[in-house]
A = this chain, B = another copy of it.
Amino acid sequence: MYVDAVLVPAETDGIEPGEFGAVAVIDVLRATTTIVTALENGARGVVPVGSPDDARAWRAAGPDVVLGGERGARALAGFDLGNSPLEYGPERVAGKLVVMTTTNGTAAFERARSVAGGAAVIAACLRNAQAAAQRLRQLAGAQGGGALIVCAGTDGRFSAEDAYAAAVVLEAMAREGPLELGDGAQAALRMAGTVASPRAALRATRHGRKLVQLGFETDVDFCAKVSVSDTVPTLVSGVLVREGSGPARGE
């Protein structure tokens, strides 16, 4: 199976929509980790939206809407939750529809959706690496195409932590059968090969250091756990739902 990774979302401009049979978005610190955690803890769905105001407009949708997100790793006024996965416990999100806006994650999903054409888009991180890898293989195999990983990056720039997580997903895919690697996928694997541990990998990056400075050290350690979740968020009509479940809204 052919598999490649874009190291920053803007790279998708160089890809024909529909070229890949399945697309995974990775924003390991912290958007996709938080999305996986929210669905694992019983959220009906997670809607990635562009701006804080777009999110606030969802209040009108009903009482079971929870607003989450951040800008520059900081909480947003009028929101129920920030972007720490540890806030998304069952007591806050079970049965709820989480509407989420993050600095980099949302833009990456937009890019992923547009480059996917009709193909499936999932969310991946370290915590669901093994499950996401299996799902990518299934989805891409069923389409007869390859798989693409979109690294969300930070403010349009490359983030080493997303490339690291991409490498962990790629390694899990490689354990299931032979892969033909594009340059971006090769690069991610080469970078990751020289790193001591997932925890060290995340803490060594610019964004990882910033989160630790802001007091989110526990978050970084939570995000660094590998393949502890089998939840694979899948985009259905603009809503990320738990793999196997139906869409969260009547679309």
Contact = CB atoms under 8 A, between A and B. Distances in A.
Contact of A190 (B153, B157, B186, B191): B191
A197 interface: no
Interface in A1-29: 6-8, 10-11, 13-15
A145 interface: no
A193 B193 CA distance: 10
Contacts of A160: 183, 186-187
B187 A163 contact: yes
B10 A156 contact: yes
State the number of copies, please.
2
Interface in A152-171: 153-160, 163
Interface in A163-215: 163, 182-184, 186-187, 190-191, 193-195, 204-206
Nearest to A192: B190
A11 B187 contact: no
Nearest to A162: B183
Contacts of A206: 182-183
Contact of A158 (B7, B13, B155, B194): B7
A187 B167 CA distance: 13
Interface in A124-158: 153-158
Given A7-B158, A10-B11, A183-B205, 9 more contacts: A6-B157, A7-B7, A10-B13, A14-B153, A14-B155, A14-B156, A157-B183, A187-B187, A194-B194
